[in-house]
Amino acid sequence: MKMMLDTHSLLSLWLLSTVVAPIRGCPLDCFCSGGISETRVLCSSPNIKTIPRNLNPDTEILTIQGTQASLIPLNGLVRSDFNNLTELVHLKISFTLLTHIAEDTFFNLVKLKRLELDNNRLSSVLPNTLSGLGSTLAFVSLSNNRGLHLHHRTFWNLPALREIYLSGLGLHEIDPLTFYGLNGLRTLDMSANELTYLSPGVMSSMPNLWSLDLAFNNMGSLDPLLERFFRRLRRLQLGGNRWQCNCLLKWLKNYPTLVSPKQGSDAIVCAGPPSLEFSHLLDVNDSLLTCSAPSIISCPDTVSGQIGESFTIKCLVTGDPYPRITWTFADGAHLASGSYPGMPLEDRAAIFIKDLSPSLEGTVKLTAHNSFGTETAQIMLTVNGFTTTTTSIDTPQTSVSPFVSAPFFTSSKTSRFATGSNRRAPATQPSHDISSRPPTISRGDISPTSQEDQAEGAGHSTVDHSEPKNNIPAIAAASAAGGAAVILAAVAVVKLCSRPPFVAASGVHAVLSANGPNFHTVAIRPHGIFGPKDLQLVPITVEMARAGKTKYIIGDGKNVVDFTYVGNVVHGHILAAEHLNPGSPACGKAYHITNDEPIFFWTFMTRLLASLDYPAPRVHLPYWPLYYLSLLLQFIAWILSPLFIFTPSLSPMKVALAGTDHFYNCDRAKKDLGYRPTYTLDQGLKLTVEAYPHLRNPLSQSEETNQKKTY
């Protein structure tokens, strides 16, 4: 009898546990694992708007993760969300609409070691948000929260911190005190930002750092004072920047094992001076790495114009590194150009004056300055058509065509437009040079017209619907190619703030939804951009070829893909700008721009490799087994993430891109914009390969040399 009672008791307890489990165990919208206690929770349902309330108090790993196409509508975190989760060791919240975190949110998470908040929409992290985790927190990732403001005290009082990932935030600068006191930090990733300078003070706070990633920023030089910090590093990534190969970079050659591609680092490729463009820094002779003070080669002594007129002042300025240009007007107005790292040695400093105002009459001073000297020039500006009487003079409201200012596309990663200087366009571009427009002075106010934000991916987007001056419709054109988006702005300010590398569609939607009677927009969608200065397709393909990883074909090799030469992308943007007129069918529409030559993916890759003297891929791997294997590896990486970081080289996205069809119809662009490719695929491939002589197969070249010696 007693035995029966025990049996019934056990059965009752089991039934009770099955009923209670959904209440205090695994939420319906989540998946739980980790044995009987279910200490690992993964929630990926689009129904999740807050942290689930009925989680097991013993939960150690909590992952709330959406997808690129479906973001989870979780937009805020507060302390009460984690009141019962004091055992949490690993928290990951990714691909959500998360915008804000209360300063005391993580106060109770006394055991938290790993915090991942990447691919969200965070605008800031308050100074004391993480300070309560100082004794345990070892890993923080805030990557791909583009536009996030990084307070200089965000990481203070975190002595246990070992790894920080800040990729894709759009950072323009780093406060020297940002990493203060992080003596134990080992890894810092600040790739894919807009950094132009790294202060030695930043590095001095991290004496034990051994891995630093600064790839894909806007850096053109490195302070020589960084040398004593860099010599401690074991891993350094500097590829994808606009390196000006001059005397300021010479010291890097003292550490070939640190910056050599043979050791796993991205190649340091020179963007300038023109004579060294595309060269690898390690291959450049020291005698060619020189610097020079600014020199104003030519500048007009006098210029004049009618009141209300628009015209340009141009001066030829040289210097290496390229000098910072400052214009000072008689009324005290100033305009300073950015000292952009990609600037060629010889360039025209220019300023565009629109609706000339009498207040600007007098001496205009041009100042060119770099770390090796300063030079000035004075220009006398005369404004005709007015008299100095007490009668008030109204500035004419001249009606002009919209002025488009934008960067040219030199690769799938856009180059920056330098305010106040005309960057020389590559010879392979069409003759329409809209990037050469200098900044605008409107009615005596000096301001740059280029208000573009570089974007790699298009997530959360905002468009300023300010009423355009002079009733001129503003022009906007968006490019969304493989997650890249760029705005071309005219007169009114248009901004596309993006969150790489996902949801390009939302950025395009933001641009198109801004279209209206007084504000015209269009979206341009290229695919598979390639060309000279490409930092993705060609360099990465060559890197894989040199590692022996391009011998395989995923699938049957018959998947059709569109590739687009960069010159055709530029041409498409120009056509879009030219057709944005009231009543135009282009307004408010999206257009695919490609080479209009769909090709087998593996045929294109074979031609690219062969052009650079690398062997063609020959070994076929079945698509679906490989795809499921990549899913399995991704799952294993997630399971092992609490123990160590494991990033599979094979991902479902890579397999899909290489083994499936993705090509597009350009008929609408042909009909509405008159688009026709200006470069064929063969022409584009030829121009691209010619731009990369240093990437040719060195083994093939040595074989040719040996054959010549034999004969």
Q: Dump pLDDT digits (tens) for 621-633.
A: 999 999 889 889 8
For residues 237 and 303, give the distance between their C-alpha atoms in angstroms, rounded to a whole number. 48
Look at residue 488 in the predicted model and tell me its pLDDT: 32
User: Which of the residue ranges 103-107, 264-268, 462-466, 546-550 would you say has the lowest mean pLDDT?
Assistant: 462-466
Q: Which residue has the higher pLDDT, 472 or 237?
A: 237
Please state the rounded mean pLDDT for residues 69-97.
92
Give the pLDDT band (50/70/90) at residue 548. confident
* Residue 539 structure tokens: 């360099």
Residues making up the chain, counted from first to last: 711
Four-CA torsion 260, 266, 267, 269, nearest 10 degrees: -150
Please state the rounded mean pLDDT for residues 99-126.
93
pLDDT at 10 over 50: no
Could you tell me if residue 231 is left (phi over 0), alpha (psi between -120 and 50 degrees) or otherwise beta? Answer: alpha
H, E, C per residue of 564-597: EEHHHHHHHHHHHHHCCCCCCCCCCCEEEECCCC
pLDDT at 704 over 60: no
Q: Which residues does 368 contact at the CB level (< 8 Å), separation at least 6? A: 294, 295, 296, 317, 319, 323, 324, 325, 349, 374, 375, 376
pLDDT at 646 over 80: no
Residue 396 vs residues 308, 311, 354, 443: alpha-carbon distances, Å: 6, 15, 11, 9
- What structural domains does the chain harbor? 56-288 (3.80.10.10), 291-385+405-448 (2.60.40.10)
* Residue 359 structure tokens: 């207040």
Q: What amino acid is encoded at 450 in this protein?
A: S
- Report yes or no: 560 and 598 within 8 Å, Cβ to Cβ: yes
For residues 222 and 265, give the distance between their C-alpha atoms in angstroms, rounded to a whole number. 17
Please state the rounded mean pLDDT for residues 322-344.
69
- Report yes or no: 98 and 76 within 8 Å, Cβ to Cβ: yes
Q: Which residues does 398 contact at the CB level (< 8 Å), separation at least 6? A: 308, 310, 355, 470
Look at residue 644 in the predicted model and tell me its pLDDT: 64
Q: What percent of the chain has pLDDT over 70?
A: 75
For residues 510 and 528, give the distance between their C-alpha atoms in angstroms, rounded to a whole number. 23
Which class for 212: exposed (0-12), middle (13-18), buried (19 or more C-beta within 10 A)?
buried
Look at residue 538 in the predicted model and tell me its pLDDT: 86
Q: Which residue has the higher pLDDT, 649 or 428?
A: 649
Assign 471 to helix, strand or coil. Answer: helix
pLDDT at 443 over 50: no
- DSSP character for 696? S
pLDDT at 535 over 60: yes
Assign 710 to helix, strand or coil. Answer: helix
Give helix 601-611 / helix 681-690 axis angle, nearest 10°: 40
Nearest CA among 108, 102, 93 for reference residue 124: 102
Give the pLDDT band (50/70/90) at residue 594. very high
Residue 276 vs residues 317, 357, 626: alpha-carbon distances, Å: 19, 43, 42
Mean pLDDT of the residues in the chain: 76
Give the pLDDT band (50/70/90) at residue 419. very low
Please state the rounded mean pLDDT for residues 123-151.
91
Look at residue 33 in the predicted model and tell me its pLDDT: 86
- Among 406-420, 463-477, 580-594, the range with the most confident prediction by mean pLDDT is 580-594
Which contacts of 34-39 are long-range, i.e. CB under 8 A and separated by 24 or more positions?
34/60, 34/61, 39/87
For residues 542 and 302, give the distance between their C-alpha atoms in angstroms, rounded to a whole number. 52
Look at residue 499 in the predicted model and tell me its pLDDT: 34
Could you list the beta-strand ranges (E) of 183-341. 187-189, 211-213, 235-237, 243-244, 270-272, 292-298, 302-306, 311-320, 324-328, 334-336
DSSP string for 393-416: -PPP-------EE-PPPSSSSPPP
Look at residue 347 in the predicted model and tell me its pLDDT: 53
Q: Which residues does 578 contact at the CB level (< 8 Å), separation at least 6? A: none
Q: Which residues does 664 contact at the CB level (< 8 Å), separation at least 6? A: 525, 527, 562, 592, 594
For residues 296 and 322, give the distance between their C-alpha atoms in angstroms, rounded to a whole number. 12
Look at residue 397 in the predicted model and tell me its pLDDT: 33
Kind of pairing between the strands at 560-561 and 599-600: antiparallel
DSSP string for 600-650: EHHHHHHHHHHHTT-PPP-EEE-HHHHHHHHHHHHHHHHHHTTT-----S-
